[in-house]
Structure 1
Amino acid sequence: MVSEASPTEWPPPPPEGWNADDLDRLPDLPAHTQLIDAGLVFPCPQTTFHERATSFFGRQLSVAATQGLDVLCRFTVDVDRQNRLEPDVLVLREGALTSPDQTRVPASAVVLTVEVVSPDSVSRDRETKPLKYARAGIAHYWRVENEKGLAVVHAFELEPATGVYVAVGIFRERMKLSAPFPLDLDLTAIKARRGGE
């Protein structure tokens, strides 16, 4: 017996590709679909490490963020018309959230983006996204890597004269920074509750 259910058929993209507004208009898009260079990027299943790291940074940054800042997990950022990226965690100015139905924020309101690297996102998180975040003027970028089950954070800050990110540190076990606000994090807390990953 043949099932009547058929997979979603996506319409062909327009000649100039998709734009940031299309993510809100296209029917039945999977949750957390991103737009990169006018193309749709669908999410892959996430690992335990990825989920625990995202939750950890979401919680810790929410507690540490200074007044006037807010923290969201997996929320899209309008970088430009052809790029609507979704960092795993972002810190933004509170005024950027104007409605409970809001689906995105402008890059100009974002202070920090955090990407937790997954097997499918290595080149995006190491190359594509930092370049786009820097061009959009986002002051801080952190890339979280899984190194044998332990979190390693590569932290970057925008150098205003050149408009590119410069490394401010690679952190294992403990992450202590003064910007974008004072932080002292125990990275060993990013682990499975029982046994291995």
Structure 2
Amino acid sequence: MGALMNPEHSWPIPPPGGWTADDLDTLPNLPPHTELIDGSLVFVSPQTQFHMRAVNFFTWQLMDQQPPDSEVFREFTIDIDRHNRPEPDVIVVDESAMGDLDQTRLPAGSVRLAIEVVSPESVGRDRGVKPVKYAQAGILHFWRVENKDGRAVVYVYELDPSTGSYGTAGIFHDRLKVSAPFPIDLDLTAITAKRRTAE
């Protein structure tokens, strides 16, 4: 109970109009991986083993298959507008957007692919809110990864320029093979494969 009464652990009170993207860099004592959605701070809940494995898998696999003019980041915020600075689980960005090593965010316009791994507490944001934000920001490719009975399922979306919204480009269960945003071939069973111990 003491921690709840301690002023150091009280929730930050938003200013009129909500928080801004710049505030994420200056607000003290924010938990790691805090996001900004519509001017509100979103805190991350403890992650599942599936989430950790999936994020690691896509990070390393995409780093191995990415073209030379791109970079892969995990859990790094992107600027959409003044009141939206989400943190996709994995992004592939244009290398030209890279600044110095003190950079804390990237412009949404530099993102070629955004990936969200769905957690129980993030279902609404990952299925509804974030895809709309990413599409409005012009991110051409979005993947949503879900745990279906212990197996990874990837929902692949591509931006339709005529509507400004995402259309389904495929649903992948055991193997994901696409040609855009660049040639990618992934064995999705490796995400949840059990590790073998030495005999």
Report the TM-score when normalising by structure 1.
0.94
Q: Once superposed, which parts of structure 1, at least 4 consecutive aligned residues long, lie more than 2 Å away?
A: 4-7, 192-195
Question: What is the aligned partner in structure 2 of residue 92 from structure 1?
Answer: 93
Residue 48 of structure 2 is aligned to residue 47 of structure 1: yes
* Deviation of the 1:162 alpha carbon: 1.1
Question: What is the aligned partner in structure 2 of residue 150 from structure 1?
Answer: 151
Q: Report the aligned-residue RMSD.
A: 1.9
Which is helix-richer, 1 or 2?
2
Higher mean C-alpha deviation, range 6-15 or range 21-30: 6-15
* Deviation of the 1:141 alpha carbon: 0.2
Runs of 5+ in structure 1 lacking a partner? none
Q: Is the 8 A contact 1:145 1:152 kept in 2?
A: yes
Runs of 5+ in structure 2 lacking a partner? none
Question: Which digits, 9 at most, give the CA deviation of each residue in 1:30-64, with x for residues without a partner?
Answer: 01000001000001000000000000000111111
Question: Which digits, 9 at most, give the CA deviation of each residue in 1:133-184, with x for residues without a partner?
Answer: 0000000000000001110000000011111100000000000100000111
Q: 2-side partners of 1:192 and 1:185: how far apart? A: 14
Q: Is the 8 A contact 1:52 1:192 kept in 2?
A: no
Question: What is the aligned partner in structure 2 of residue 176 from structure 1?
Answer: 177
Q: 1-side partners of 2:99 and 2:137: how far apart? A: 21
Q: 2-side partners of 1:67 and 1:164: how far apart? A: 28
* Deviation of the 1:6 alpha carbon: 5.5
User: Identity of aligned pairs, percent?
Assistant: 57
Question: What is the aligned partner in structure 1 of residue 57 from structure 2?
Answer: 56
Figure out how many residues of one structure are paired with residues of the other and give that number. 195
What secondary structure sits across from 1:188 in the alignment?
helix
Q: 2-side partners of 1:61 and 1:184: how far apart? A: 9
Q: 2-side partners of 1:100 and 1:170: how far apart? A: 36
Q: 2-side partners of 1:103 and 1:14: how far apart? A: 22
Question: What is the aligned partner in structure 1 of residue 35 from structure 2?
Answer: 34
Higher mean C-alpha deviation, range 5-14 or range 67-76: 5-14
Question: What is the aligned partner in structure 2 of residue 120 from structure 1?
Answer: 121
Report the TM-score when normalising by structure 2.
0.93
* Deviation of the 1:193 alpha carbon: 4.0
One-letter amino acid of the counterpart of residue 71, structure 1: V
